[in-house]
Amino acid sequence: MEMVWLLLCSFALLLKMSLVCNSEAGSVTYDARSLIIDGQHKILFSGSIHYPRSTPEMWPSLIAKAKEGGIDVIQTYVFWNLHEPRQGKFDFSGRQDIISFVKEVQKQGLYVCLRIGPFIESEWSYGGLPIWLRDIPGIVFRSDNEPFKTEMEKFTTKMVTMMKAENLYASQGGPIILSQIENEYNMVEPAFHERGPPYVRWAAAMAVGQQTGVPWVMCKQDDAPDPVINSCNGMNCGETFAGPNSPIKPSLWTENWTSQYQVYGGEPYIRSAEEIAYQVALFIAKNRGSYVNYYMYHGGTNFGRTASAFVVTSYYDEAPLDEYGSIRQPKWGHLKELHAAVKLASSALLSGDQTIISLGQLQDAYVFEEQSGECAAFLVNKGPKHATVLFQESSYQLPTKSISILPDCKKVAFNTAKVSAQHATRSWQVAQKFDSAENWEEYKEAIPNFEKTTLRASTLPEQISITKDESDYLWYTFSFQHDSDAQSTLSVKSHGHVLHTFVNGVFTGSAHGRHRNESFSLEQTVTLSKGINYISLLSAMVGLPDNGAYLERKVGGLHEVRVEDQDFSKISWGYQVGLDGEKLQIHSDSGSSKVQWSKLGSSDHPPLTWYKILFDAPAGHDSIALNLGSMGKGEAWVNGQSIGRFWVSFQTPKGKPSQTWYNVPRSFLKPTGNLLVLLEEENGDPLGISLDKVSITQVCGHVSETHLPPVSKWLVQKTQNQNNTKTKLGRRPKIQLSCPPKKSISKVLFSSFGNPSGDCKTYATGSCHSSNSKAIVEQACLGKRRCSIPVSLQKFGDPCPSISKTLLVDAQCT
């Protein structure tokens, strides 16, 4: 009974230290140590979750998983062009319901950091700025420019007023403890010359003048005017952040990138849990950092056409919560342990004096000691090799580039390089194949020629100004007389992003740019007829730009067209914004009936074809995704809601699509009769599409005797020591396996206690192996959703006394 009582007390203490239990904050101020909430200094871990990149049905689960992972604050941008798509016309419904999102965070007892911007970048179309701003006479974005400042202040004031009306600021008892104005302005400020610094001062004063009662930050803005706090963005703020620009401001890290956004044609960037944990621990130890935000904690989906130029539809899928909202291991679990370890040291970190002690050429100890004697230490090994260091007359082993956290300056609770969290394998299982031609219908988009377009220009129109982001597409058409049937050279220069060419209604070729090199040229041989020839050029944008100075001057579309040596750039052009299918909204139930669909034709799939099919929702609760691996480029809709652009044909240097599976939220679906519509620009084959279930099907643990026990065991041991209690529990490393909800461990695929080779991706039994390894694990885990197996000689015996033992277990979840 005494042991049970100790465990309960310890876990309660850990919960209290690692989670914020009351988001009704009251007053929020700051000093050099940290934010001060209701008079208490706080070390806060934050996670970015963007409300429009998921669905309202997902919000409660995402926030709950973040909280379980030791997150105290949910950080989100505010998306101006989503809320005010037309000047003075606002939308806060559905995924745009920011008030409901903030209230859900509050309901679950977490704080909010509201990054109003309103320029946000965020790989979001036009950096979040509404396209209608371009039409305001004399406007220069993000500078000391009255037209822009007027609109920026209007929107900022509207958002603040909305939050105040719902009592959502901490000063009103709400969850919002921090706000942000502007976004990484220092990156473009020099380009505005004398118009830059006054704008920074104005933005800061305007924000503070909103009287929210909570501090404001400017990220990556070294000259953020008082009282606005300058904060760090990036992957290595423990190494790169110069610190606050005032001795009375705290060190805040507003964007710690958990991976990187991915672009079409680009490989995914994988950032390890060990690297993230190292940088967080270093920022806290070296910079006395007290606020760390993970960008992203859940990335989600760029639904519709919201992704910026060349950015894929899936956003930060490698975050601790993946695109579908599932826990990504070991990243989530390793960071949870880090958060708990740091919270154990929070008293000394917030109240103690910092001392830096050299332990070697590339090793240091950051020690925090209070007058009461409370002490915490961070032992840092910056080197490329394992190191043994002596600290306070005790020896400590530090793996390569790692940090050990000693909450009492004696025992190690956590090391950034020692991952005990399980690894999880996500897989896709086909739920429904769409391989029957009888079930598909198609509609071929009309190719307009000069005579069928009504809009005219005397030169090539600039695409962004003409389309106003109503469509990705702009048709350029012209006609000319040719005196014979002949082969000729068509040459086109484009500012981006994609071009499809048609001569006399016949498709003749395509070309495209790429991320950060949007402009391109096309040169092809075409067949001309004697008499009038019609040239139709379809220019497609793949998202608007989201960064850079003078964004209002960015251009898209064609800027030179030649046939042989004749320049046709300055002739009478006919143009058309968008496709006929878009205007008729044939992706919706009502719009679909406005055109005559045909049964799917032969194996020849011409470009610019719409496809539709009906399907029933798969049974169960697993996430759902469309496998579009057989398609080329276009956009997909389910029951009238766009699940985003796809561009499967633009492959990475390794010859793979940048994205194959496209998220279909369950909330988009009806039980039966769901409408799937796709626009295919190229010649993709819809018969290869399938609807797949996405789930975690395997969990694996790989822990050795040199790993650390869970941080909760550190608390148990500390409580035992304080009470002079001896138990058999001890502090042993262990494998902890956990299947997703409604799944359990059905099979142990591999188990070896000894010296197994490899890791959770590839493994094999080594020269040392306990023969009862699998039986012990099966007894502990089969039929259970969760199980725990200590790395213990008492459990497995000692098959080879001369070596350190490792336990590797791989199990199946069904």
DSSP labels for 456-488? EESSPPPHHHHHTTS-SEEEEEEEEEESS-EEE
CB 566 within 8 A of CB 491: no
B/e letters for 197-210, b = 16+ CB within 10 Å, e = fewer, are eebbeebbebbbeb
Strands 566-567 and 558-563, sheet pairing: antiparallel
CATH for 427-443+583-694? 2.60.120.260
**In angstroms, rounded to a whole number, what is the distance separating the alpha carbons of residues 83 and 306?**
13
Q: What is the pLDDT of residue 724?
A: 53
Instruction: Name the token pair of 439.
Output: 């079930």
- In sequence order, the 6+-apart residues with CB closer than 8 A to the CB of 34 are 41, 42, 43, 44, 250, 290, 291, 350
Residue 51, token pair as written in the block: 């409300």
In angstroms, the CA 176 to CA 457 distance is 50
In angstroms, rounded to a whole number, what is the distance separating the alpha carbons of residues 424 and 66?
17
SS3 612: strand
Beta carbons of 98 and 112 less than 8 angstroms apart: no
Q: Any residues with CB less than 8 A from the CB of 684 and at least 6 apart, and which? A: 605, 628, 630, 631, 632, 633, 634, 648, 649
Q: Which residues pair with 432 in a beta bridge?
A: 691
Residues linked to residue 427 through DSSP beta bridges, in sequence order = 695
CB 750 within 8 A of CB 810: yes
- Report the candidate in 513, 794, 814 with the shortest Cα–Cα distance to residue 805: 794
Q: Could you confirm whether domain 28-347 is CATH 3.20.20.80? A: yes
Structure tokens at 256: 């710690």
pLDDT of 713 reads: 74
- H runs (alpha helix) in 619-710: none
540 Cβ contact partners less than 8 Å away, ≥ 6 residues apart: 472, 473, 497, 498, 499, 500, 681
Query: Which pTM was predicted?
Result: 0.95
pLDDT score, position 604:
81
DSSP structural state of residue 227: T
In angstroms, what CA-CA distances link 629 with 157, 417, 625, 651, 681?
Answer: 45, 37, 12, 11, 15
CB 115 within 8 A of CB 183: yes
Backbone angles phi, psi at 773, to 5 degrees: -55, -50
Please report which helix (H) or strand (E) contains residue 735, including its range. strand 734-738
- 500 alpha carbon, distance to own chain's centre: 31
Which DSSP letter does residue 86 get? Answer: B
Burial 707-739 (b: 16+ CB within 10 A, else e): bbbbbbbbbbbbbbeeeeeeeebeebbbbbbbb
Please tell me the predicted confidence (pLDDT) of residue 749: 98
> Looking at the chain, which residues constitute the CATH 2.60.120.740 domain(s)?
730-813
Cβ-contact 320, 69 below 8 angstroms: yes
CATH topology for 730-813 is Jelly Rolls (2.60.120)
**What are the backbone dihedrals phi and psi of residue 716, each rounded to the nearest 5 degrees, phi first?**
-60, -45
pLDDT of residue 22: 52
Structure-block tokens of residue 568: 């046709």
What residues does CATH 2.60.120.260 cover in the chain? 427-443+583-694, 448-578
pLDDT at 729: 42
Domain 448-578, what architecture?
Answer: Sandwich (2.60)
Grouped pLDDT means (10 residues each) for the chain, 814 residues: 35 36 73 97 98 98 98 98 98 98 98 98 98 98 98 98 98 98 98 98 98 98 97 97 97 98 95 98 98 98 98 98 98 98 98 98 98 96 97 97 98 97 96 97 97 95 97 97 94 97 97 96 97 97 98 97 93 97 97 95 88 97 97 98 98 96 98 98 97 97 95 67 49 92 96 96 95 97 97 92 94 97
| Catalytic positions | 184, 255
* C-alpha 93, offset from chain centre: 22
The Cα 382–Cα 386 span in angstroms is: 10
∠ CA 503-504-508 to the nearest 5 degrees? Answer: 30
User: What's the pLDDT score for residue 730?
Assistant: 52
Spatial distance between the Cα atoms of 417 and 403, rounded to a whole number of angstroms:
7
